[in-house]
Amino acid sequence: MTSRAWLVRLGEIGQRENIALDKGLVILGWSKLGDLSTCESRTEIAAMVKENYPGEGKATLSNWTGQLWRFLREIREGDLIVCPLKTRPTVAVGRVTGPYRYQSDADPGFRQVRPVEWLRTDISKSAIEQDLRNSMSSLLTVCALSRFGAPRRIAHLAEKGIDPGPTPDEMAMLEGFATPHELLDGVIANSTGDPIRLTIREFLKRWGVTRRTSESVARIEADLVAKGVTTRPSFTEGWFDNVIELLPVGEEPDSTAQAPSQSLQPDVEDAPDLPAITLRVGVLESANKGVASVRLEDKLSIAHTKMLSGKYSQLAVLDENGTLRGAVSWESIGKASMRKQELLTVSDAVDRTVGSVDHHEDLLSQVTEIYDKGYVFVCDSDKKVIGIITAADLTQQFGHLARPFVLVEEAERRLRRRANEVFTLDELRQAAPRHLAAKVSSANDLMLGAYKHLLASSAHWDRLEWPLDHELFLGLLELIREVRNELMHFAPDPLDGETLTRVEGFIEMLRIVDPRP
């Protein structure tokens, strides 16, 4: 079995390199920490890190915890260690020979160690191809090197001093900046410049996903953690086309250069600590698009004009600081006119009981108020109004989320009905997984994936008597199965338009070949 490979940096300016190479060690900093050998979990390390570095933000503490846990427990004897050297133009490669040790008699910043047999310390950086050099550019002190055949290539470097490069299969991953790892490498390379910015939709496309399911979020989070990158704000929340920034985080303390973490805002969250996916207010487009507004001192004719020309039922009433002071609506104008004959300014017709909600709030908890009132304004963390959710917006959002479920259910119902008509019980059971076959009493008990097996043979297909191409139908059926599986993993995002169109086309096709309701 090929050994795993790990990048370990020996100090921001290579201050630990000479001792490490002379004594056969890899050495971490974190000078304020004591002996980690008694820590049996990440939680214990996290507590120790937080206690000794109380001034650091959540993102940095979590990232440091991950790096220390890798050094303590995940790196195993026999694994390869790669150290790009700062004090010389070479790369050192070694093999881990023992467990973690704490050297209490060493100088601070030189006490966290693992023993290593250095195989080579003279590998020229120019002998390493660019993709592998990019992987070694992480700001993390400890990270895994696994992409593009890294362990195999590093073992070859240790033996021959030459990078054999990726295989054709590994090369297929190198598609430029559009791939997730190239994107994250770009974040690290650009750590001193303006952060990379892109929409959540564009961000997800790098991983080949279109919805934030629990599975896709977990995969993306793992990649962010491994590379020492976080997003601001969290990519798990907010409307699909909101812009996020990608930021490096997690450089070790006691660095001679300013750590990137020092420039991060306190609300930046590291990937493992991102909130659980739920349907939040901020996922709605209208909650992020701003609002039309007036001021209390404006003439009421201004409100009339804005509402008529923009086809608005209500306007936010804001003060000079952008703080919400109420709302003016056709309803509030009508009620005010019954109390007062002459309405001159917005203040004469303002509704001060209007509600607002933070964009991070659970959307479902706001449903009753939105439907009762007709709308609610959305505020950011600074209490500034950034959008509005109306009852119509809410209905549209739930329609987007529910429609795919309804369509897939109709597809299954139509398949079940026809399968029950033309196949025997034994044939239906043969299509089911072996451990479930005995429980099948009709086609209603089959999972959607079972129909691919049931209809695989031409003889079975012909019995449906549908004038459709067999092979194309099976391909479409596989798409429906994938959509159904994805829908079972909750995501706050609707299906993308192309996929929804194909699902609708499949349903329409079934309705045509079997027009029964």
Q: How far apart are CA 512 and CA 499, in angstroms?
A: 20
Integer-rounded Cα Rg, in Å, for the chain is 30
- Please list the helix, strand and coil fractions of the chain in percent, rounded to the nearest 5, in that order: 45, 15, 40
Q: Output the six-digit token pair for 445.
A: 């008990």
- Convert the pLDDT of each residue in 288-339 to its tens digit: 888 899 999 999 999 999 999 989 999 999 988 888 999 999 999 999 988 8
Q: CA angle, 352 as apex, 347 and 358 as ends, to 5°?
A: 130
Domains of the chain: 5-167 (3.10.590), 178-273 (no CATH), 283-383 (3.10.580.10), 394-513 (no CATH)
Residues 6+ apart with CB under 8 A from 302: 294, 346
Residues 6+ apart with CB under 8 A from 167: 149
pLDDT tops 90 at residue 114: yes
Q: Are the beta carbons of 25 and 19 closer than 8 angstroms?
A: yes
Q: What is the reported pTM?
A: 0.55
Residue 129: predicted pLDDT? 86
The average pLDDT across 417-436 equals 91
- Please give the single-letter amino acid code of residue 482: E
Q: Are the beta carbons of 116 and 24 closer than 8 angstroms?
A: yes
98-107, 168-177, 294-303, 451-460: least confident range = 168-177
- Convert the pLDDT of each residue in 115-149 to its tens digit: 999 999 999 988 898 778 877 877 788 988 887 78
Q: How far apart are CA 113 and CA 100, in angstroms?
A: 6
DSSP 209: -
Give the number of other CB atoms < 10 A from CB of residue 70. 19
Going by pLDDT thresholds of 50, 70 and 90, the confidence category of residue 268 is very low
pLDDT tops 70 at residue 173: no
- Residue 410 main-chain phi, psi, to 5 deg: -65, -40
Q: Are the beta carbons of 238 and 283 closer than 8 angstroms?
A: yes
pLDDT tops 90 at residue 424: yes
Upstream peptide bond of 233 is cis (omega within 30 degrees of 0): yes
Task: List the one residue out of 181, 73, 72 whose CA is nearest residue 131.
Answer: 181
Pair type for strands 112-124 and 101-102:
antiparallel
Q: Are the beta carbons of 364 and 447 closer than 8 angstroms?
A: no
Q: Are the beta carbons of 455 and 464 closer than 8 angstroms?
A: yes
Q: Are the beta carbons of 141 and 28 closer than 8 angstroms?
A: yes
- Please give the single-letter amino acid code of residue 464: L
Going by pLDDT thresholds of 50, 70 and 90, the confidence category of residue 459 is very high
Task: List the one residue out of 133, 144, 5, 13 whose CA is nearest residue 69.
Answer: 144
DSSP 71: I
pLDDT tops 50 at residue 177: no
- Residue 82 main-chain phi, psi, to 5 deg: -115, 130
Distances (CA, A) of 366 to 143, 297, 391: 42, 31, 11
25-29, 167-171, 207-211, 434-438: least confident range = 167-171
Q: How far apart are CA 144 and CA 66, in angstroms?
A: 11
The average pLDDT across 231-253 equals 80
Q: How far apart are CA 156 and CA 149, in angstroms?
A: 11
Distances (CA, A) of 66 to 56, 215, 420, 508: 15, 21, 54, 50
Q: CA angle, 149 as apex, 148 and 150 as ends, to 5°?
A: 95
Where are the alpha helices (H) located in 149-240, listed in sequence order?
150-160, 168-171, 180-189, 200-205, 214-227
Q: How far apart are CA 9 and CA 12, in angstroms?
A: 8
- Convert the pLDDT of each residue in 498-509 to its tens digit: 888 888 999 999
Give the number of other CB atoms < 10 A from CB of residue 269. 20
Q: Estimate to the nearest angstrom the gap between the alpha carbon of 357 and the chain centroid.
A: 24
pLDDT mean across residues, the chain: 85
Task: List the one residue out of 455, 457, 466, 424 whose CA is nearest residue 441.
Answer: 424
Q: How far apart are CA 137 and CA 60, in angstroms?
A: 18
